[in-house]
Structure 1
């Protein structure tokens, strides 16, 4: 047997999009090489990097001669290519399971991500970057997120996870933003005051794959 070449993930693990891909790779037991991109120095805008990520964002992903960007698309690719490896339920095993996962992935990207990403930036990143916080935007985003979590609370009263009784990409995709919001911001209350959402967060954030991502986030860049 030939040597398996690890896939390459470009970007800092503190990035929510990068950490989403890393969690997926760990769930699927796929070997990877994490290549740090120093965004403060503009490495994400270099000509070489733009060859694999034309928008100059993170992550960029390479699997031999294949290059991909956009974290959710990368996660779908990983899950499909390595369907029989690692967590085989991550992207479903039949059309109905996949459709359920897809509808909750869509809910994450269209309904959950916009207000939660705004809050992550305003509450977690803006203070570190000496950027003035926009309280009006924060309040508006909290209200929007609360409405989304009300839907989740009802769903998670009927189902262990969002797409059914198995942990899937639908749940995994919520990990990066929620990690920031429940650790050190007052938005934690939006999650933990809802019994089913709080239970769900406790379960998905305790997975070994996500614990390893958090370790990578805490480690200094190599």
Structure 2
């Protein structure tokens, strides 16, 4: 088995999502920098890998994939026997919570993290009104999570899965902002985050983020 190649940026949440899955699987990878700040993602050589001009892209031998959630499904399926089992077969709850992350959680948290964390790093000013609006949206989503996690250790049940992992890059950034209170105010969500963020594979992933 060759070394996986991830095209992206170490600070990108979507890149981090893929790196987190690779680390849970105990696989080797190399990061090929695609610097969004210089427009490298819109250059012909990168567009040949992903015509939408977005990171990350995974190259695994002759296989080239984009879209971080699709990449993670591929990794969990192809490398099923390696590392952590992230995609156990036959789990209906897993399928539901994978979709919840993508359709409910992701849209609510992404703009909030951008305003509070990413935008200031890029030299921009945080839009306070946008922060409060997005925080309210995320709070409603997390209320559902609080109820779910009051009855289950992890989102899909008793075991850590891809449904949990896919959430982690954005929450990692959220916890470095004043809106970390959205997690802390919900004891079951906070306990879940404490558990998943203590995983050795996640600690390895977080240590690779240049913050």
Task: Report if TM-score (shorter chain) is over 0.5.
Answer: yes
SS in 1 for 2:58: strand
Question: Structure 2 CA distance, aligned partners of 1:218 and 1:55?
Answer: 26
Any residues of structure 2 matched to 1:40-55 within 5 Å, and which? 40-55=37-52
SS in 1 for 2:120: coil
Query: What are the ranges of 5 or more consecutive residues in structure 2 without an aligned counterpart?
Result: none
1:199 aligns with 2:196: no
Moved segments of 4+, more than 3 Å: none
Query: What are the ranges of 5 or more consecutive residues in structure 1 without an aligned counterpart?
Result: none
CA shift at 1:130, angstroms? 2.2
CA shift at 1:36, angstroms? 1.4
1:134 aligns with 2:131: no
1:182-213 CA deviation, whole Å, 9 max, x = no partner? 11x11111101111001000011111111111
Question: Structure 2 CA distance, aligned partners of 1:176 and 1:136?
Answer: 24
Question: Structure 2 CA distance, aligned partners of 1:15 and 1:91?
Answer: 23
Deviates more, 1:20-29 or 1:133-142: 133-142
Question: Structure 2 CA distance, aligned partners of 1:101 and 1:218?
Answer: 31
CA shift at 1:71, angstroms? 0.3
Question: Structure 2 CA distance, aligned partners of 1:54 and 1:153?
Answer: 38
Paired position in structure 1 for 2:207:
215
Aligned pair count reads: 211
1:100 aligns with 2:97: no
TM-score by length of 2: 0.96
| Contact 1:122–1:134 (8 Å) recurs in 2 | yes
Aligned residues: CA RMSD: 1.1
Q: Identify the match of residue 61 of structure 1 among 58, 62, 69.
A: 58
SS in 2 for 1:132: coil
Question: Structure 2 CA distance, aligned partners of 1:214 and 1:130?
Answer: 23
Question: Structure 2 CA distance, aligned partners of 1:129 and 1:30?
Answer: 32
Paired position in structure 2 for 1:180:
173
Question: Structure 2 CA distance, aligned partners of 1:30 and 1:208?
Answer: 14
1:50-105 CA deviation, whole Å, 9 max, x = no partner? 111111111011111111100000000000001111112x111x31x2x2112101
1:76 aligns with 2:69: no
| Contact 1:12–1:18 (8 Å) recurs in 2 | yes
Deviates more, 1:132-141 or 1:117-126: 132-141
